[in-house]
Amino acid sequence: MLDPAALVDSYSNLVPALLLITLIVWETVGPCFRYFVKRPTKRLRHGAINLGLGILNAIVIGVIFVTLWEIAVKWSVKADFGILRWVELSPWIEGLIAVLIFDCFTYWWHRFNHEVPFLWRFHRVHHSDAEMDVTTANRFHTGEIAISAVLRIPLLFLLGADLWMLAFYELLMFPVVQFHHANIRLPDAIERGFRKVFASPVMHKIHHSDLMEETNSNFTSLFSIWDRIFGTYRMRKHFQMIQLGLKEFRKPEDEEFFGMLKIPFRNAKGALSEDNRIETEREL
């Protein structure tokens, strides 16, 4: 049987890179929103800054937190502690269970980033992008990434997970995150079918709306089931009318690399509009 750890090791970097290129081409040929049409220089600069934040975060994770995650896994092995160490299952089943638990954790972590004011100060760096595209998937403040990485230490220990399981989750999750941030639109029937299982482009565009009741919905990263279970799933008619970003962060400095790093420490609260005059639609 194919070893899942070996599979993850082989494709963990290749899949996101290939999908990034594919989605950039798709955004160029058929963009959903046309804010970069005939503005290639602006698009290039926007993407470079977002990817630059992603590279910074990857360095921080690689230098600091991977070692701490390894220590948590070794503690779990030594103590024979953790949910996945108390049952005998195949590596694939264990990996899938870990994916579901990691994804539920990610849902609640994302939701807390909206509900806890201190966390929102960091997370608004991601939401301040008024020209969301595939590179926005990398646009997170290093402080948010660091806090999330710290919280994964006890999660790995309690779950009794191996590091390949976390990498397996990332291999599944990050391409979907790239996909639903991309400036693309699926045919309506495909979009509806896709969001029955996964977070879709329309779902996440609604999440990036500058209306408070919309941005506080559709928190899922991979499986859309969490928003349905916990009551935060939301759709709207005429999603093309959405205004992306945050009204409080539309200055040129908010799109600069160092300007984005300063956003959590700015005086603006990043409060969202409370305008409730939007059309919604319900789906079973």
How distant, in Å, are the alpha carbons of 97, 272, 284 from that of 127?
30, 11, 28
pLDDT at 7: 58
Output the furthest CA–CA distance in the chain (Å, rounded): 59
Give the containing element (helix H, strand E) for 280: strand 280-281
pLDDT at site 273:
40
Name residue 244's beta-bridge partners.
209
Q: Is the pLDDT of residue 276 over 50?
A: no
pTM metric for this prediction: 0.90
Residue 13 and residue 175 in contact, taking contact as beta carbons nearer than 8 Å: no
d(C-alpha 196, C-alpha 19), whole Å: 22
Q: Is a pLDDT exceeding 50 seen at residue 13?
A: yes
Q: Is residue 280 over pLDDT 60?
A: no
Q: What is the pLDDT of residues 136-173, one digit of tens each?
A: 999 999 999 999 999 999 999 999 999 999 999 999 99
- Is the confidence at residue 271, as pLDDT, over 60? no
Task: Find out whether 126 and 204 touch, Cβ atoms under 8 Å.
Answer: no
On the question of pLDDT at 11 being above 90, the answer is: no
Q: In one letter, which amino acid is 158?
A: L
Q: Residue 224 — very low, low, confident or very high, per pLDDT cuts 50/70/90?
A: very high
Alpha helices in the chain (DSSP H): 4-11, 14-29, 40-60, 66-79, 91-115, 117-127, 142-159, 163-181, 188-194, 201-207, 212-215, 225-229, 257-262
- Helices 142-159 and 40-60: angle between axes, nearest 10 degrees: 40
In the predicted structure, residue 272 carries a pLDDT above the cut 60: no
What gap in Å lies between CA 259 and CA 252, rounded to an integer?
Answer: 9
Asked whether the beta carbons of 15 and 171 are under 8 A apart, the reply is yes
Confidence at residue 59, expressed as pLDDT on a 0 to 100 scale:
96
Instruction: Give the Cβ contact number of residue 38 at 10 Å.
Output: 7
Helix orientation angle between 142-159 and 117-127, rounded to the nearest 10 degrees: 120
Mean residue pLDDT across the chain: 90
CA dist., res. 16 & res. 22, Å (int): 10
The pair of structure tokens assigned to 148 is 């999330």
The Cα-based distances of 30 to 16, 20, 34, 37, 136 in angstroms read: 20, 15, 9, 10, 18
Question: Coil, strand or helix: which one is 198?
Answer: strand
